[in-house]
Amino acid sequence: MENRLHGRKQHIRALLIDRVMLQHELRKLTVEGCQYRTIHQDLMKDLLRLSTSTYSQVRNRAQTVLFTALGTYNFCCRDLIPHVLQFLNPDNSSVTQQQFKGALYCLLGNHNGVCLANLHDWDCISLTWPAIVRSGLSSAMSLEKPSIVRLFDDLADKIHRQYETIGIDFAIPSECCAVAKQLMGTAAPVPSEPVPTDENVAEGLQRQEQKNTESVQKYNQLIVDLLDNLSNRNLPWKFEHIAIGFLSLLLRDDHQLPPAAITFFVKSLNHDSLYVRKVAISAVAGIMKQIKRPHKKVSVSPSKLCDIKGSSNIVAGDRPDNKWLQYDSSSLPRTQEAWDTCVFVEKTHWGYYSWPKELTMYAPSEEQPKQDLTRDEMTEREQIIYDHFTDPAFINQFIEFLSLEDRKGKDTFSPRRFCLFKGLFRNFHDAFLPLLQPHMERLVADSHESKQRCVAEIISGLIRGCKHWSYPKVEKLWKMLCPLLRTALSNITIETYADWGTCIATACESRDPRKLHWLFEMLMESPVNGEGGSFVDACRLYVLQGGLAQQEWRVPELLHRLLQYLEPKLTQVYKNVRERIGSVLTYIFMIDVNLPFTEPTMSPRICDFTERVLLRLKPLTEGDEEIQNHVIEENEVGEQDERTQAIKLLKTVLKWLKASAGRSFSTAVTEQLRFLPLLFKIAPVENDDSYDELKRDAKTCLSLMSQGLLYTEQIPMVLEVLREIAGSNSWHARYTVLTYLQIMVFYNLFTVMSDQEIVNSIRSLVIKLLEDEQLEVREMAATTLSGFLQCNFLSMDGPMQAHFEALCKTRLPKKRKRELGAMVDPIPSADLVRRHAGVLGLSACILSSPYDVPTWMPQLLMDLSAHLNDTQPIEMTVKKTLSNFRRTHHDNWQQHKQQFTDDQLLVLTDLLVSPCYYA
Q: What value does the mean pLDDT take over residues 607-634?
A: 73
pLDDT (0 to 100) of residue 518: 95
Q: Is the pTM of this model over 0.85?
A: no
In tens, the pLDDT along 284-296 reads 999 999 999 998 8
Return the percentage of the chain with pLDDT > 70, whole number.
87
SS (H, E, C) 815-831: HHHHHHHHCCCCCCCHH
Better pLDDT: 400 or 200 = 400
Residue 349: pLDDT over 80:
yes
Q: Across residues 73-102, what is the average pLDDT? A: 85
Position 341 scores a pLDDT of: 87
CB 115, CB 109: distance < 8 Å: yes
- Residue 865's pLDDT is what? 75
What is the distance between the alpha carbons of residues 318 and 484, in angstroms, rounded to a whole number? 35
Q: What is the pLDDT of residue 746?
A: 92
For residue 311, what pLDDT is reported? 62
Is residue 372 very low, low, confident or very high in pLDDT (cuts 50, 70, 90)?
A: confident
Contact partners, residue 533, CB within 8 Å, separation at least 6: none
pLDDT at 1 over 50: no
**Tell me, what's the pLDDT at 915?**
39
pLDDT at residue 159 greater than cutoff 50: yes
Which of the four pLDDT bands, split at 50, 70 and 90, describes residue 892? Answer: low
Sign of CA pseudo-dihedral 369, 372, 374, 380: positive
pLDDT, tens digit, for every residue of 829-887?
Answer: 787 888 888 888 888 888 887 777 777 777 777 777 777 767 788 778 877 877 777 77
The Cα angle at residue 12 between residues 9 and 15, in degrees rounded to 5: 155
Q: Give the 3-state secondary structure of residue 453.
A: helix
Percent of the chain with pLDDT over 90: 34
State pLDDT tens for residues 547-595: 999 998 999 999 999 999 999 999 888 889 989 999 999 999 988 887 7
Report phi then psi at 362, rounded to 5: -70, 140
Q: What pLDDT, on a 0 to 100 scale, did the predictor assign at position 639?
A: 45
pLDDT digits (tens, 9 = 90+) for 646-661: 888 999 999 999 888 8
Look at residue 918 and tell me whether its pLDDT is greater than 80: no
Contacts of 535 (CB under 8 A, 6+ apart): 494, 576
Give yes or no for residue 27 having a pLDDT over 60: no
The span from the CA of 173 to the CA of 167, in Å, is 15
Q: How high does pLDDT run on average in the chain?
A: 83
Residue 179 DSSP SS3: helix
Q: How confident is the model at residue 28 (pLDDT cuts 50, 70, 90)?
A: very low
pLDDT at residue 909 above 70? no
List pLDDT tens digits, range 420-470: 999 999 999 999 999 999 999 999 999 899 999 999 999 999 999 999 999
- 172: pLDDT strictly greater than 60: yes
Which pLDDT value is given to residue 503? 95
Per-residue pLDDT reduced to its tens digit, 747-806: 999 999 988 999 999 999 999 998 888 888 888 999 899 889 888 888 888 788 888 888
Q: Report the pLDDT averaged over residues 608-627.
A: 81
- Amino acid identity at 739: T
Distance CA 444, CA 456 (A): 8
pLDDT at 625: 61
